[in-house]
Chain A
Amino acid sequence: MSGGARTINLTLNGRPVSAEVKPHHNVVEMLQTQFGLFGARESCGQGLCGCCTVLVDGQPVSGCLCLAVFLDGADVVTIEHLSETGKLDPVQQAFVECGAFQCGYCTPGFVLMTKALLRQNPDPDDEQIRDYLAGNLCRCAAYPEIINAVRMAARETKAGSTG
């Protein structure tokens, strides 16, 4: 039958879960309606603003352009995972310290992108930061503060791992 629901299994924020999804459901819808996770949110609907960013097998992906069924077997991390222990992740803390947001709607996307960037490149220069985050939009335009936050997060992450 056309468009019927199916069960997928995935690892979500470190825990094995299963979800009932229909082929036309995207990842954001699945996270919101089945798991009550609203940190990834659809804004432009075209993969251009980054508000729907999730990490799939460690790589950032636009949740609004990814069919939920494609997450079968994947390891998915959302913004909620970063502070699950009650303590902010160094990237989140850096965003707070640098005032790297205003309305906050785009912030989870920027935080996850930064997380992925620093994993790939622990010591990015400003141009590398800009290149990596160029696909995320902030209408409040907190860009200068975001760059500061990424720099600070890089320092803190390094300090954390070496000492």
Chain B
Amino acid sequence: MTPFDLVEPHSFEETIGLIEPDDPDVRVIAGGTALMLMMKAGVFRPRRLISMRKFASSLSGITATSSGELRIGAMTPLSALEHSPHVSRHAPVIVRTMRRLSNVRVRNVATIGGALAHADPHMDLPPVLIALGASVCVVGGAGERTIPVEDLLTGYYETALAKNELIAEVRIPAPAAARSAYCKVTTGSADDWPALGIAVTLAAGGATVKSARIAVSAATTKATRLTEAETALVGSTADDGTLKDVADIAAEEADILADGRGSASYKRELLRVYVVRAVRAAMQASGAP
């Protein structure tokens, strides 16, 4: 790696002040796992890194509001989500997802805010958060704003964050009887990055699907909601006929890219199959982590 300067401010505000929006070679580092990969590969050679480590504790932690909304500090390591009773109670799909998300060491270091800002389309958490209707609370030079996760992610490694904006918190709304599932589909080894990720959150009234959120990732350049497929599902009982339509619509709707993990046509077939499996898994989700 090329040498760089490192500054370690003591507050969020100080950090934002240190960002130089016109200099892309100055960058904020949170857990650092993703950024280290870029630096080691030599594709990113920063002049200066601004570490958030010194005040990480003030920005980490998981709380649940009385209504059941989860509020997760941006610097919370993924492993904390994995072991949190709040997450286990209000968003057990996250705990289930964690088991096969990267590995223990990365989960110990990578933060939820850093992971979202990295915006790698292969990551498992973004589609799950989109399906859960999560949003991020962003702080920057222009003040505070809230962005739904589905709007935060704009492309491969690209986000809607302004250069001097940082994610401060992730909010996951109250579940309201929602059922969720995430399917990670690998085509290489079991611990490979997914060729396809698909997350589903449903609210059912009796046997009828009241609302649905479906998000696809990995096969697309960003984690993306499949709104047409959602519409097809809502109001149905998720019967075989409906699910076949949902599968076809999802396969049509998603903008799928080929890569080393599969051709676009194959990944489209995977999506067709797994959107059904994910909906069925969500219908049966017990709420256990």
Within 8 A of A (CB), among B78-134: 79, 99-100, 102-106, 108-109
Contacts of A2 in B (CB 8 A): 3-5, 47-48
Interface residue B40 (Cβ < 8 Å from any Cβ of A): yes
* In contact, A62 and B49 (Cβ under 8 angstroms): no
Within 8 A of A (CB), among B1-50: 1-6, 32-33, 36-37, 39-40, 47-49
Contacts of A99 in B (CB 8 A): none
* In contact, A60 and B49 (Cβ under 8 angstroms): no
Given contacts A2-B47, A61-B105, contact A134 B5 (CB under 8 A): no
Of B3, B51, B191, the contact of A24 (CB 8 Å cutoff): B3
Contacts of B104 in A (CB 8 A): 60, 113, 116, 132, 135
Provide the bound-state CA to CA distance between A135 and B32, in Å: 18
Question: Across the two chains, which residue of chain A brings its CB closest to B6?
Answer: A23
* In contact, B49 and A50 (Cβ under 8 angstroms): no
Of A3, A45, A67, the contact of B32 (CB 8 Å cutoff): A67
Provide the bound-state CA to CA distance between A134 and B186, in Å: 14
Contacts of B53 in A (CB 8 A): 70
* In contact, B32 and A62 (Cβ under 8 angstroms): no
Of A53, A70, A131, the contact of B51 (CB 8 Å cutoff): A70
* In contact, A23 and B3 (Cβ under 8 angstroms): yes
Contacts of A59 in B (CB 8 A): 79, 108
Given contacts A67-B36, A69-B6, contact A23 B105 (CB under 8 A): no
Contacts of A61 in B (CB 8 A): 105, 108-109
Interface residue A142 (Cβ < 8 Å from any Cβ of B): no
Interface residue B190 (Cβ < 8 Å from any Cβ of A): yes
Interface residue A48 (Cβ < 8 Å from any Cβ of B): yes
Given contacts A24-B3, A61-B109, A62-B105, contact A134 B100 (CB under 8 A): yes
* In contact, B106 and A62 (Cβ under 8 angstroms): yes
Interface residue A10 (Cβ < 8 Å from any Cβ of B): no
Contacts of A4 in B (CB 8 A): 5
Question: Across the two chains, which residue of chain B brings its CB closest to A23?
Answer: B6
* In contact, A134 and B103 (Cβ under 8 angstroms): yes
Interface residues on chain A, number (Cβ under 8 Å) = 32
Contacts of B32 in A (CB 8 A): 65-67, 70
Contacts of A116 in B (CB 8 A): 104
Question: Across the two chains, which residue of chain B brings its CB closest to A133?
Answer: B104
Interface residue A122 (Cβ < 8 Å from any Cβ of B): no
* In contact, B106 and A135 (Cβ under 8 angstroms): yes
Interface 1/0s, chain A 47-78, versus B by CB < 8 A? 11010010010011110111101100000000
Interface residue A43 (Cβ < 8 Å from any Cβ of B): no
Question: Across the two chains, which residue of chain B brings its CB closest to A65?
Answer: B36
Minimum Cβ distance to chain B for residue A65 (Å) = 4
Minimum Cβ distance to chain B for residue A19 (Å) = 15
Contacts of B33 in A (CB 8 A): 47, 62, 65
* In contact, B105 and A53 (Cβ under 8 angstroms): yes
Contacts of B37 in A (CB 8 A): 46-47, 65
Provide the bound-state CA to CA distance between A23 and B32, in Å: 13
Interface 1/0s, chain A 27-42, versus B by CB < 8 A? 0000000000000000
Contacts of A134 in B (CB 8 A): 100, 103, 190-191
* In contact, B3 and A60 (Cβ under 8 angstroms): no
Provide the bound-state CA to CA distance between A69 and B96, in Å: 33
Question: Across the two chains, which residue of chain B brings its CB closest to A29?
Answer: B1
Contacts of B105 in A (CB 8 A): 47, 50, 53, 60-62, 135
Provide the bound-state CA to CA distance between A148 and B75, in Å: 37
Interface 1/0s, chain A 84-119, versus B by CB < 8 A? 000000000000000000000000000001001000
10 A–B contacts from the bound complex (CB under 8 Å): A2-B4, A3-B3, A46-B40, A59-B108, A61-B105, A61-B109, A66-B109, A70-B51, A113-B104, A135-B102
Residues on B facing A (Cβ under 8 Å): 1-6, 32-33, 36-37, 39-40, 47-49, 51, 53, 79, 99-100, 102-106, 108-109, 190-191
